[in-house]
Amino acid sequence: MSSTFSDRLTAAKDVIKRNHVATSTAKVYARIEERFETFLETVPSDVPEVDKVLVFLNENFNKSPEGFRAATAALRAFYVLKGAVENPLDAEVIKLAGRAVTRQAPLPRHKVKLKAGEFSEAINFLSQSAGDKPRRMMNLLLVSAGAYLRPGEALSLRNDDIEEERGYLKIQIKKDKTNQKGQPRFAWIKDGPQVVPIREWKERAQELKSVWLFPNLKDPSKPWKSRVDSGRLFDSPARPVFQ
């Protein structure tokens, strides 16, 4: 292979390396590959490639599933661009190592469930707090718990998605985690004391001229997702919900 063609091939691979993923991801991959190349300098050349990869991953990325996945993706690209006939990242032992990292990692904090007593205390406290911010939070909790919604599903609700029907509050969920494009599904909350504040909050959202059930209070034309509206929950000092 002529030196000229070799340079052209190197340039083509550099383009792939820079652009086959987002710029920020490419920088992460580059750091991982640099560490891997430094690691290879300490390993005898006759060691199988799969063993090299397994030891490198175990010594550097065995604490975090996210870090392990990033490292395996970076090394997969590394071997592809290197022209390896058999990519060591396809080996079953590497896949098993990934499962082991996932199983031994601690559960995410968001998996911890709110106890019934803590939920009631939060609702009681929010109901006694003045202002739209605590009222909005209280009703988000009531709707999410009453209709068994994920937070993202509740935040995506519009005023038109809530209506009264035969003693129930009928909630139309147009998009959820498992049904992004299909027909909407429905949830019902039986009429009772817990529905009164939801009904009143819907009226408040309409007073703000918002189509969203949980609007951004600084810009009611938007749902409650913007960082512009992510400041303090209370406009005045208040005691903690949980002591």
Contact criterion met (CB below 8 Å) for 241 and 121: yes
Amino acid at 202: K
- 42 falls in which pLDDT band (50, 70, 90)? very high
Residue whose C-alpha is closest to residue 61's, from 104, 92, 18, 21:
104
- 227 falls in which pLDDT band (50, 70, 90)? low
Q: What is the pLDDT of residue 240?
A: 43
What are the tens digits of pLDDT across the range 150-172?
Answer: 878 888 888 888 888 888 888 88
Q: What is this structure's pTM?
A: 0.47
> What is the enclosing helix (H) or strand (E) of 104?
helix 92-104
pLDDT greater at residue 148 or residue 56: 56
CA distance 68 to 98: 7
Q: What is the pLDDT of residue 49?
A: 93
Quick one: DSSP state of residue 184? -
- 120 falls in which pLDDT band (50, 70, 90)? confident
Whether residue 231 has pLDDT greater than 60: no
Q: What is the pLDDT of residue 238?
A: 44
Which class for 60: exposed (0-12), middle (13-18), buried (19 or more C-beta within 10 A)?
A: middle
Contact criterion met (CB below 8 Å) for 94 and 57: yes
- 105 falls in which pLDDT band (50, 70, 90)? low
Q: Which domains does the chain have, with CATH numbers?
A: 3-109 (1.10.150), 114-229 (1.10.443.10)
Q: Is 84 helix (H, G, I), strand (E, B) or coil?
A: coil
What are the tens digits of pLDDT across the range 71-98?
Answer: 999 999 899 888 888 999 999 999 999 8
Residue whose C-alpha is closest to residue 123's, from 137, 133, 144:
137
Q: Is 129 helix (H, G, I), strand (E, B) or coil?
A: coil
